[in-house]
């Protein structure tokens, strides 16, 4: 991943934030401890977090597994409804919008999933997968449109007639990106999108996402547990731990002067490329 130089953190923002999240709370029922009668106890996943997603930039959301980072992301694209708090998109609270109101907004709020094998329907061709959302939102959706989206992510156009299981992991994840960008959204949530890929595919997919986001002016929230990826890709970073934000700010500042113990632990977990004499024993 040496091809990507760290971006200088942009500290001078003029545009207002795309998302403003205020005091977000969310809990799930704990079915393992449900009594025979009555409601299950609730597990608090997000304990009142507030953050902004600046327009046109890449914001990293990082934390250990179980920290609530995926849950927070899924609230942004409203796959989950929070218990309390505000999710302001352009100043409009979308936290509790119903099905009919949220569906038109979905074109602008796209998502790329962690496991492309699971997120691409095995029964549909790549062309169908990419074209169907385009048709729903009246943005074309012909075979040629799907092929054009594939070319944009560096895949051959004839992949439209392939099934997901006929592709490699990196190719599948490119299809996931193609489907998201085909709608020309304003925001993309990327949830651990490279954690299932080998290192060289990781670098290619990250580079692709970064280029597309810049070219198309897409705001990205990038969820990862891997700080080295965040450092190369993101402008801002939010560090979550057990449902609370422990640190947030420009990537450079957070990495150079980590304020919290969690951030220091995550930083220490980055594998160093330097060779050590002990390797040769």
Partner 1 sequence: MADATALPRARGPRSLNLRLWLPAAWLSLLALAALLAPFIAPHDPLAQDLLMERLPPFFMAGSEPGYWLGTDSLGRDVLSRMIYGARVALFVALIAATITCLFGSTLGLLAGYYGGWWDRVISRLVEIWMAFPPVLFAVLLVAVMGTGLFSVIAAIALIDWTRFARVIRAETMVQARMDYVDSARIGGANRLTTLAGEILPNVLPSIVALLMLEMGIAVIVEAILSFVNLSISTDDPTWGSMIAEGRGAIHFAWWVLLFPLIALFLTVLSFSTLGEGLKQRFDPVLQ
Q: Which positions lie near partner 1, rule CB under 8 A?
A: 77, 79, 99, 103, 106-107, 109-111, 113-115, 118-124, 132-133, 136-137, 163, 165-168, 170-171, 179, 183, 201, 204
Query: At closest approach, how far in Å is the CB of 29 from partner 1?
Result: 12
- Nearer of residues 11 and 168 to partner 1, judged by Cβ: 168
- Nearer of residues 21 and 111 to partner 1, judged by Cβ: 111
Query: At closest approach, how far in Å is the CB of 26 from partner 1?
Result: 16
Place of tokens 């004499």: 277
Query: At closest approach, how far in Å is the CB of 163 from partner 1?
Result: 5
Coil, helix or strand at residue 57: coil
Measure the CA–CA gap between 157 and 155, rounded to whole angstroms: 6
- Nearer of residues 47 and 106 to partner 1, judged by Cβ: 106
- Nearer of residues 33 and 123 to partner 1, judged by Cβ: 123
Query: At closest approach, how far in Å is the CB of 80 from partner 1?
Result: 10
Place of tokens 């959302």: 133
Coil, helix or strand at residue 257: coil
Measure the CA–CA gap between 129 and 197, rounded to whole angstroms: 21
Query: At closest approach, how far in Å is the CB of 108 from partner 1?
Result: 11
Coil, helix or strand at residue 161: helix
Measure the CA–CA gap between 164 and 178, rounded to whole angstroms: 13
Residue 24 backbone zone (phi > 0: left; psi -120 to 50: alpha; other: beta)? beta
- Nearer of residues 113 and 255 to partner 1, judged by Cβ: 113
Q: Which of 49, 97, 50 is nearest to 77 (CA)?
A: 97
Query: At closest approach, how far in Å is the CB of 65 from partner 1?
Result: 17
- Alpha-carbon torsion angle 232, 235, 240, 243, nearest 10: -130
Query: At closest approach, how far in Å is the CB of 251 from partner 1?
Result: 27
- Alpha-carbon torsion angle 180, 184, 185, 191, nearest 10: 20
- Nearer of residues 164 and 250 to partner 1, judged by Cβ: 164
- Alpha-carbon torsion angle 193, 198, 204, 209, nearest 10: 0
Coil, helix or strand at residue 61: strand
- Nearer of residues 110 and 263 to partner 1, judged by Cβ: 110
Query: At closest approach, how far in Å is the CB of 106 from partner 1?
Result: 5
- Nearer of residues 11 and 211 to partner 1, judged by Cβ: 211
Strand 84-89 relative to strand 92-93: parallel, antiparallel, unpaired?
antiparallel
């Amino acid at each position: 991943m040496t091809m990507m130089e760290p971006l200088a953190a942009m500290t001078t923002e003029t545009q207002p934030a795309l998302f403003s999240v205020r005091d977000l709370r969310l809990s799930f029922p704990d079915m393992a401890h449900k009594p025979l009668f009555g409601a299950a106890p609730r597990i608090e996943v997000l304990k009142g977090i507030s953050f902004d997603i600046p327009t046109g930039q890449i914001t990293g959301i990082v934390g250990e597994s179980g920290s609530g980072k995926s849950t927070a992301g899924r609230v942004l694209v409203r796959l989950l409804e929070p218990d309390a708090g505000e999710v302001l998109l352009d100043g409009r609270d979308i936290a509790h919008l119903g099905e009919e109101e949220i569906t038109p907004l979905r074109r602008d709020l796209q998502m790329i999933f962690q496991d492309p094998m699971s997120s691409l329907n095995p029964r549909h061709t790549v062309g169908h997968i990419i074209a169907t959302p385009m048709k729903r939102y009246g943005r074309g959706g012909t075979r040629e449109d799907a092929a054009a989206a594939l070319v944009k992510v560096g895949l051959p156009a004839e992949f439209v007639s392939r099934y997901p299981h006929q592709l490699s992991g990196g190719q599948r994840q490119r299809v996931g990106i193609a489907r998201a960008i085909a709608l020309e959204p304003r925001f993309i949530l990327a949830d651990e999108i490279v954690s299932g890929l080998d290192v060289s595919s990781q670098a290619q997919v990250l580079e692709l996402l970064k280029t597309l986001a810049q070219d198309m002016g897409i705001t990205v929230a990038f969820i990862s547990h891997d700080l080295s990826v965040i450092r190369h890709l993101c402008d801002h970073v939010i560090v979550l731990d057990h449902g609370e934000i422990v640190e947030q700010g420009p990537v450079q500042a957070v990495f150079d002067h980590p304020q919290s113990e969690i951030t220091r632990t995550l930083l220490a977990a980055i594998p160093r490329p330097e060779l050590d004499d002990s390797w040769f024993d």
